[in-house]
Amino acid sequence: MNTASLPSELQKLSDYYKTGATLSYAFRRKQLLALKAAVQQYEKEIHDALYTDLKKSPEEAYASETGLVISEINYVLANLRKWMKPEIVATDMVNLPSRSTIYRDPLGVVLIIAPFNYPMQLLLKPLVGAIAGGNCAVLKPSELTSATTTVVNKIIRETFPPSYIRVVEGDGAEVIPAMFSAFRFDHIFYTGSTTVGKIIYKQAAEQLIPVTLELGGKSPCIIEEDADLQVAARRIAIGKFTNTGQTCIAPDYLLIKSSVKERFLGYLVAAIEKFYSSDPASSYEYGKIVNERQFDRLTGYLQHGKIIYGGRHDRAALFISPTIIDEVDQESELMKQEIFGPLLPVLTYDDSMEAMQIVQLNPQPLAFYLFSHSKQKASEWISRIPFGSGCINNTIWHFTNPHLPFGGVGNSGLGSYHGKYSFHTFTRAKSVMKTPTWFDPAIKYPPLKGKLKLFKWVIR
């Protein structure tokens, strides 16, 4: 879209929303079914594009992108009618016999900004919530995954009128400020880095636009001495090296009880080689880094500790092998910045207090993982460490559960989505109290003198 035409083009979405066309259950259901059909129709093209952009196999592409979008649509379709019904709530004694109801209103025209790591899923999954909520939407895909953006743009153009849902392409640093200048959105949903999230938040604040920020952070993975080390190794390997580590909820670093470190690392190396072979550069299962800028950033971290496994890289192929780094300086950039790649630093601890102090050096992570069979240890960690969401004896799979809200806390994000939580994110609670006229006690009206004791009895 030419930035000069942005005001008029974006205004068309606002005009369409104001017609009320998006409000009915029938309309929302029809659009969700249309989106599902389009994703299924273009599944092969989507998977081919994801291979071009990130070297994802069709299986990984389905499990982490198209399949999750279809699953989300199915879940929303099964529950949308119930979610849309006004909710009758209790009424306090002061207002009896009134009737109190909460309605869920659409927000209007929303902007969804997606990152490069899951360029289809993280664009369309929020869109499902926006459609379910009765909104119009503008989609801003990542400029770093051009093949996927082309296919997604094709799907949106063929499925929806541009006055309802449209894609705006281009460099985010140029296009997003231009859209903010041209139009006031009713909500902004951003997934990406904390650095850019702060910029989005600041720009939105100038117009009092509400935001949902799905950011990142250094998600710790704790391995207690009572953990099942072989199972932990497999689940950590898949959580860390899926999508070549370019996953916001991937374990960012390991914090291992000293007594089990060597045994665990042996299991971890075995799991990596079973999943990706001893030559991951030619593995069907292993992807690539998105571009040279990210590659250079990641390879710069290789000097920040002792490489005890992996470390191979090829800039021409954008390849970095699964890498385990020991003897890491906690003051290095490797331990201060979200890694977002296939490098896994290893730290050790001897007691829980020491471990908690290490985790608190990078507070409010997006995800938190603990491997232990102790309910007491799990309870202590969960109660002591603020984090967005996480797993006990698993990694990353909580993201796929539509019954759980997904989101960060503090530096790792603001707001949540998935399933019903997406519906709530893209709607606003509107409270209405209806009072009958047949009961109108004089106590509520002046003169009030002498009614204090009665007020204290009623209002409590």
Structural contact between residues 179 and 169, judged by C-beta atoms closer than 8 angstroms:
no
Is 449 within a domain? Answer: no
CA torsion, ordered 394, 39, 53, 132, to nearest 10 deg? -60
Is 255 within a domain? Answer: yes
Same structural domain, 331 and 372: yes
Same structural domain, 416 and 386: no
Catalytic: 248? Answer: yes
Distance CA 320, CA 241 (A): 11
Is 281 within a domain? Answer: yes
CATH number for the domain spanning 310: value is 3.40.309.10
User: What is the band of 211 on the pLDDT scale with cuts at 50, 70, 90?
Assistant: very high
User: What is the band of 1 on the pLDDT scale with cuts at 50, 70, 90?
Assistant: low
> What digits encode the pLDDT tens for the residues 373-394?
999 999 999 999 999 999 999 9
How many C-beta atoms surround the C-beta of residue 186 within 10 A?
18
Same structural domain, 143 and 73: yes
Same structural domain, 259 and 288: yes
Same structural domain, 194 and 226: no
Using left for φ > 0, alpha for ψ between -120 and 50, and beta otherwise, residue 409 falls in beta
Average pLDDT over residues 3-31: 95
Catalytic residue among 224, 248, 338, 391: 248
What value does the mean pLDDT of the chain take?
96
In this structure, the strands spanning 253-257 and 343-349 are parallel
Q: Cα-atom radius of gyration of the chain, to the nearest Å?
A: 25
- Which of 407, 423, 452 is the last residue in one of the domains? 407
Same structural domain, 206 and 353: no
From the centroid of its chain, how far is CA 308? 32
Distance CA 71, CA 309 (A): 37
Residue 65 has pLDDT above 80, yes or no: yes
Same structural domain, 244 and 377: yes
Q: Which domain holds residue 29?
A: 3-215+412-432
Same structural domain, 53 and 69: yes
What per-residue confidence (pLDDT) applies to 4?
77
Is 447 within a domain? Answer: no
Is 162 within a domain? Answer: yes
Residue 333 has pLDDT above 70, yes or no: yes
Distance CA 209, CA 185 (A): 7
Residue % of the chain over a pLDDT of 70: 100
In this structure, the strands spanning 367-371 and 220-223 are parallel
Is 441 within a domain? Answer: no
Same structural domain, 289 and 389: yes
Q: Which residues pair with 414 in a beta bridge?
A: 213
Catalytic: 60? Answer: no
User: What is the band of 184 on the pLDDT scale with cuts at 50, 70, 90?
Assistant: very high
Using left for φ > 0, alpha for ψ between -120 and 50, and beta otherwise, residue 366 falls in alpha
Structural domain count of the chain: 2
Catalytic residue among 214, 221, 224, 391: 214
Q: Is 432 helix (H, G, I), strand (E, B) or coil?
A: strand
Same structural domain, 110 and 136: yes
Same structural domain, 419 and 302: no
Is 205 within a domain? Answer: yes
Residue labelled with tokens 């935001």: 211
Structural contact between residues 402 and 355, judged by C-beta atoms closer than 8 angstroms:
no
Q: Is 239 helix (H, G, I), strand (E, B) or coil?
A: helix
**Environment class of residue 321 by beta-carbon count within 10 Å: exposed (0-12), middle (13-18) or buried (19+)?**
buried
Same structural domain, 287 and 400: yes
Residue 2 has pLDDT above 70, yes or no: no
CATH number for the domain spanning 183: value is 3.40.605.10
Is 452 within a domain? Answer: no
